[in-house]
Structure 1
Amino acid sequence: MNVLIIGCGKLGTRLATGLTRSGHDVSIIDNDATRFEMLPDDFNGLSIMGNPIDQDVLQSAGIEGCDCVVCVTDEDNVNIMAAQIAREIFGVGKVLARILDPVRAKLYEESGIDTICPTALASHAVYAYLFPDEQAENQIFHLGASSAELISLPCEKFMRGMKIREIERERQMLLIGSLSEKSRFVSAFGRSEIPDDAKTLIFMNMIH
């Protein structure tokens, strides 16, 4: 798959790294060139410095030939504008925008833009931890055109310090975070290993 990532922060860096190591073609855009220093030495994708809502910059990153655009900058407005440009001007089939504000995320989803909201994910994760025996529908939420369920599992001692990609491969689910003994939520985005104080792991399982 040919993927264009907008934003080379912690999440963008992790996505770019994981996708390239899985054999996908990746381009990443950021308006701050120093952020590309977070990319590992084995990253073999294309990094472009520039305004992610500038059509010339998007074209130089290969948006016209990509299969998917993922917008994960730290600014909701930039992510939405980049997603709209990718979908409406360049006709990209799969476009996803990270939106921190749950209310705005829901509004944009209703307008046809697929979004992912870390704030909502964290909220659902805490709920899944506090009420693990609740019925499944209480832990199901919409993610763009699909739905997903959050599954909380106890973190065994041998799992602490384990590589996140290893446990994701073993469980066949995406790890979105963990909860410590003191109920502190730690997002898995931007991390490579499970925290040493993790008590509960929160996975996301897609429902098609």
Structure 2
Amino acid sequence: MRDYVCNVVRSHRCLCIFTVLQLTLMLSMLEVKLQIDQSPELQRPLTRVYLVTQLRELAWSPLFSGFAMGAMFYGYGLLHLPSKGPFGRFFSRLRSAGLAVWQQGSPVMLVPWTMKVAQNLSLFPCHMWQCLAKDAFLEADNCLLLVFLAVVLWNYLLILAIFSLVLAVRLNLQMMGARHIENGGNHELRAYVRGINELLGFEMIVLTD
């Protein structure tokens, strides 16, 4: 079972990373709110927990994850443009330009997703501080237990967010490094790489000394 899961992850690596990014973003949008119910019929104040989210933000959330996934695609997908035909030379220049821009600016595409997750996760400490500042909050039933569970949940979401970001950055760096191959004075390797680049119409593989 473990080998099967590993093979699925390797075969659908980008899909798995998108799923992790999207799941992390959606979970960060679930805002945990603790409120005190001081109804007259209650002997003691009662702590109530609410999970609040905005459906509009959830609907737009795949755009942030999809934009972040652009950091994992060579040249933002321009490599798949046709290399033959009347526009072959134009497409070759476009692929080369797209690859150069991706090489320099692809990590920037992770910034909107990171800022959105950080903004959502920062709401919980602010709300918790406001709740603890109230005198009736600590006197309510199940207050400390619910606060502890909410803090544990927030910590798990924070760890998941860091893990997702590290995973995306690591894959991006691996794809950048895959373009560069050490020459090592191997003339056959140089000829092979030159043939691949000529076939593609641009410098896809870079030989380093």
- Which interval holds the TM-score relative to the shorter structure? under 0.3
Structure with higher helix content: 2
Structure with higher strand content: 1
Pick 1 or 2: higher relative contact order, CA cutoff 8 A, min separation 6: 2
What TM-score results when the alignment is normalised by the length of structure 2? 0.23
Query: Between Structure 1 and Structure 2, whose CA radius of gyration is higher?
Result: 2
